[in-house]
Amino acid sequence: MTSAPTRDAGVQTEAVTCCIAGCGPAGAMLGLLLARAGVDVLVLEKHDDFFRDFRGDTIHPSTIEVIEELGLLDAFSAIPQQRIDRLEAVFDSATAVLADFRELAVKHPYIAFVPQWDFLDFVTDEAKKYPGFRLLMGAEVLGVTRRGRRVTGLRYRGPDGPREVAATLTVATDGRDSDVRRAVGLTPVGYGAPMDILWFRISRRSSDRKGLFGRISSGRFVAMIDRGDYWQAAFAIPKGSDAELRRQDVEILRDSLAKLMPFLGDRVGELRSWADVKSLEVQVNRLRRWYLPGLLLIGDAAHAMSPVGGIGINLAIQDAVAAANLLAEPLGAGAVSERDLRRVQWRRWLPTVVTQGFQRIVQARLLGPVLQGRAVDPTSSPLRRLARLGFVRRLPARLVGVGVLPEHVRTPKAMEPAGQPTFDGRPWRATERS
Ligand SMILES: Cc1cc2nc3c(=O)[nH]c(=O)nc-3n(C[C@H](O)[C@H](O)[C@H](O)COP(=O)(O)OP(=O)(O)OC[C@H]3O[C@@H](n4cnc5c(N)ncnc54)[C@H](O)[C@@H]3O)c2cc1C
């Protein structure tokens, strides 16, 4: 269990079994799974709350299945959400179905749109029911502590000043600009992207079409996400053009939108200035090595994902499930070897490479040419012939909705939420699995 803080060279230090830097989807889910398996966990989050606009809000069939395996499906379904069962692209000449989740053999064939802050509150509220879980908000990780090559914990500035935490295992889930990654000198390999994204909101009327669709015309691409009373719009622009665009009047964006989607013509004025528009610099990268002795990196800290398909959150959660499955037992025994950490990377390497490969093909073959002004015709005969093959037609839905090697919760519920052990209170051992 967490030890009482001690004072070391003027900085208070405490000890936990697992310390997690960053409470995004990966950190929150890993914290829940480990605490549920009887491991004591401290999660440090630099913000005071989870409220961040325009974040990954797409909960895919793979994640919904994990939620069901945790026995939380009813509670999850009670969160206000929109559901869509297919992705469509509206070209100048035709409308094409890019992915139809109803064709998948899964229990929950839809994407649920849940604001990320609601989702993180949901996961951490559940985790807080376990006595081994602690979340410290407003705690910014500043660096790692080491003994020789081994990472032994984290340095952070919390609400009460500078602190250190010593941990059997430190996990970096602090996102694509990971401070922990920088502190240990790991650098991801970048694979480039032809675009950046502008995010904004436009009101939605009941007479508008429903669901999620992409509008594609030469030179422009926008994804429209139905959020009930408003549209969340992701407008693609050529890589690196954001600053130049913002030097012009926001009218230029309003005009583009009105031309692309005439039904929004009388609403584009809701974009009053560039302050209403947020920018996302798209990155696709991944680390060659996701671990050092005593340290594991997962989620965006190990591999930043393109927004294509809205897969980032779901891959981060799959990483967390795999890490908990493979590490709960060594953590319970009080020692995590490099071999244990390597197994997590090996398990998650293929899904990451395949998913990023799929995103890079869509970027290179569809979005890049569109942004360069080239016309893409979905009715061209090679595309039509390919789409006639059921396997090919189902592939995008499979990659987006389920992914490669979907993870399932293997860690048991070693503790009841109230803190009562479900068997004899000892940390879980794989040999005790039924
Ligand atoms: C604008 C935008 C839109 C996106 N849209 C989608 C989408 O629609 N669908 C989708 O699936 N993905 C989307 N993504 C990507 C998705 O959000 C990420 O892939 C996913 O959130 C990764 O989860 P994570 O837990 O690894 O990292 P993050 O979600 O980035 O979480 C990292 C956490 O660490 C905290 N942190 C950072 N530094 C420190 C520090 N030094 N100390 C303590 N805490 C720290 C951060 O505050 C954050 O809470 C989007 C990303 C952005 C930026």
DSSP codes of every residue in 238-275: ETT-HHHHHTS-THHHHHHHHHH-GGGTTTGGG--SGG
- Is 23 near ligand 1, meaning CB less than 6 Å away? yes
Match 């012009």 to its residue by tokens: 248
225, 301: one domain: no
134, 149: one domain: yes
Which positions ≥6 away from 352 have C-beta within 8 Å?
A: 286, 302, 303, 315
Domain annotation covers residue 388: no
User: How far is residue 87's CA from residue 78's CA, in Å, rounded to a whole number?
Assistant: 24
77, 164: one domain: yes
Task: CATH number of the domain at 172, please.
Answer: 3.50.50.60
Q: Give kind and range of the element (H or E) at residue 243.
A: helix 242-246
355, 428: one domain: yes
- Is 319 near ligand 1, meaning CB less than 6 Å away? no
Domain annotation covers residue 89: no
Instruction: Region of 71 please: left (phi>0), alpha (psi -120 to 50) or beta.
Output: left
Give CA separation, 152 vs 166, 319, 359, 371, 377, in Å: 6, 22, 36, 47, 55
- As given in the structure block, the two tokens for residue 212 are 């999620």
- Which residue of 111, 170, 313, 318 sits with most ligand 1 atoms within 8 Å of its CB, as the best mutation to test the pocket? 313
Q: Give kind and range of the element (H or E) at residue 230.
A: strand 230-238
54, 170: one domain: yes
pLDDT one digit per residue (tens) for the chain, 434 residues: 455 556 555 788 899 999 999 999 999 999 999 999 999 999 999 999 998 766 778 999 999 999 999 999 999 999 999 898 988 888 887 888 888 899 888 999 999 999 899 999 999 999 999 999 999 999 999 999 999 999 999 999 999 999 999 999 999 999 999 999 999 999 999 998 888 999 999 999 999 988 888 888 877 889 998 888 899 999 999 999 999 999 999 999 999 999 999 999 899 999 999 999 999 999 999 999 999 999 999 999 999 999 888 899 999 999 999 999 999 999 999 999 999 999 999 999 999 999 999 999 888 888 888 888 777 666 665 555 555 655 666 788 888 888 899 999 999 887 666 666 665 555 555 444 43
Q: Which amino acid, 117?
A: W
Give CA separation, 67 vs 76, 295, 407, 416, in Å: 8, 26, 12, 17
162, 23: one domain: yes
Any idea how long the chain is?
Answer: 434
Q: How close is the Cα of 383 to the center of ligand 1, in Å?
A: 34
204, 234: one domain: yes
Ligand 1 atom with least separation from CA of 141: 42
User: How far is residue 226's CA from residue 204's CA, in Å, rounded to a whole number?
Assistant: 8
Q: How close is the Cα of 343 to the center of ligand 1, in Å?
A: 24
Domain annotation covers residue 357: yes
Let me know: does 285 contact 188? Beta carbons within 8 Å.
yes
Residue of minimum CA distance from atom 37 in ligand 1: 174
Instruction: Region of 192 please: left (phi>0), alpha (psi -120 to 50) or beta.
Output: left
34, 183: one domain: yes
Number of domains in the chain: 2
User: How far is residue 148's CA from residue 159's CA, in Å, rounded to a whole number?
Assistant: 30
Let me know: does 113 contact 81? Beta carbons within 8 Å.
yes
Domain annotation covers residue 25: yes
- Is 323 near ligand 1, meaning CB less than 6 Å away? no
Residue of minimum CA distance from atom 7 in ligand 1: 56
* DSSP reduced 3-state for 225: strand
Domain annotation covers residue 220: yes
Residue of minimum CA distance from atom 41 in ligand 1: 141
* Boundary residue ending a domain (280, 302, 335): 280
Domain annotation covers residue 328: yes
Q: Which residues lie across from 216 on neighbouring strands?
A: 221
Structural domain boundaries, residue 419: 6-58+73-81+115-191+284-365+405-432
- Is 27 near ligand 1, meaning CB less than 6 Å away? yes
- Is 330 near ligand 1, meaning CB less than 6 Å away? no
Ligand 1 atom with least separation from CA of 199: 1
288, 275: one domain: no
- Is 401 near ligand 1, meaning CB less than 6 Å away? no
- Is 253 near ligand 1, meaning CB less than 6 Å away? no
User: How far is residue 20's CA from residue 43's CA, in Å, rounded to a whole number?
Assistant: 5
Closest C-alpha among 11, 23, 294 to residue 134: 23
Does the predicted TM-score (pTM) go above 0.85?
A: yes
Domain annotation covers residue 416: yes
Q: How many helices (H) does the chain have, and how many strands (E)?
A: 12, 21
- Is 54 near ligand 1, meaning CB less than 6 Å away? yes
